Amino acid sequence: MIPEELERQVWQAKKEGAAPFLVCATSGTTVLGAFDPLDEIADVCERHGLWLHVDASWGGSALMSRKHRKLLHGIHRADSVAWNPHKMLMAGIQCCAFLVKDKSDLLKKCYSAKASYLFQQDKFYDVSYDTGDKSIQCSRRPDAFKFWMTWKALGTLGLEEKVNRALALSRYLVEEIKKREGFKLLMEPEYANVCFWYIPPSLREMEEGPEFWAKLHLVAPAIKERMVKKGSLMLGYQPHRGKVNFFRQVLISPQVRREDMDFLLDEIDLLGRDM
């Protein structure tokens, strides 16, 4: 998100008689792993009295790392945040959190069904602990307990190491891609999403025009088919905003090693070198 463009759009909406009230920023987009500049966006929201929500479902776990938490600089200024510890931190699926600064019992006002057969108000303990009445999923499993158990088992340093290791392996893969003929990064990654093309020998001398991109669009699906039939890898691919099909390697598991990254690139080259 471009903060200056956000400001312009807010003024435009007001000029047209609309009443903007909410801005949704993202920390760790699904495909590219991109992070919005939260501090600058928060400035715009404060000027116009807008609620700032941050979707940190994927990238929020970077806060556990002293080295990488700068990616979310300014998140403390958000009014609400969504976060999924079951992603980068590998808590048991599913494990999601929705955090709000509001202290007026906002979630209960929005979601409470006031079911007298479930949440009686005259109990002997503090009924604010009946969190089920603050959710549209009343009887869901307690996600907070899953994360508490993960944190208790691994400790803060253990969770930090998960994040640091994943991002270190991502960086290793990026540097290997840069060294190898036939591999091209879509962009320099900010997080653990490494997006790249494999350009087979038959296309390496071709000018990057419409015909080149049309042919390259067919490469990733063909290699993926060969991977599946061979049983060697399961690697995702997709197009994105005008970019033709590319591979997307997202690193999470602490069991992955540098040797696995080498195998990934070797196997893609092996399966695609005759194209």
Residue 92 pLDDT: 83
Token output for 267 = 């196997």
Angle among Cα 22, 140, 80 to the nearest 5 degrees reads 20
The pLDDT tens digits for 86-130 are 999 988 888 898 899 988 888 888 888 777 787 788 889 988 777
**Cα–Cα nearest to 26, from 1, 51, 62, 61:** 1
The pLDDT tens digits for 156-207 are 999 999 999 999 999 999 999 999 999 999 999 999 999 999 999 999 999 9
**Helix 3-15, helix 38-48: angle, nearest 10:** 20
pLDDT of 78 over the 80 cut: yes
C-alpha distances in angstroms, 173 versus 97, 169, 237, 250? 31, 6, 16, 11
The pLDDT tens digits for 246-258 are 999 999 988 899 9
Task: For residues 93 and 87, give the distance between their C-alpha atoms in angstroms, rounded to a whole number.
Answer: 8
Burial of 69 (0-12, 13-18, 19+ CB in 10 A): middle
Angle among Cα 167, 173, 174 to the nearest 5 degrees reads 90
Residues 215-234 have a mean pLDDT of 97
Residue 93 pLDDT: 85
pLDDT of 150 over the 80 cut: yes
pLDDT of 140 over the 80 cut: no
C-alpha distances in angstroms, 156 versus 69, 96, 149, 151, 160? 14, 18, 12, 7, 6
pLDDT of 133 over the 80 cut: no
83 forms beta bridges with: 97
Q: Enter the pTM of the model.
A: 0.89
Residue 107 pLDDT: 83
* Strand arrangement, sheet containing 236-240: 183-185, 193-198, 243-250, 236-240
Residue 141 pLDDT: 72
Residue 137 pLDDT: 74
What structural domains does the chain harbor? 3-142 (3.40.640.10), 150-273 (3.90.1150.170)
- Going through 78-189 in order, the beta strands assigned E by DSSP cover 80-83, 97-100, 183-185
Residue 82 pLDDT: 96
The pLDDT tens digits for 41-65 are 999 999 999 999 999 999 999 999 9
Taking residue 201's Cβ as centre, other Cβ atoms within 10 Å add up to: 13
pLDDT of 135 over the 90 cut: no
Please state, rounded to an integer, the average pLDDT across all residues of the chain: 93
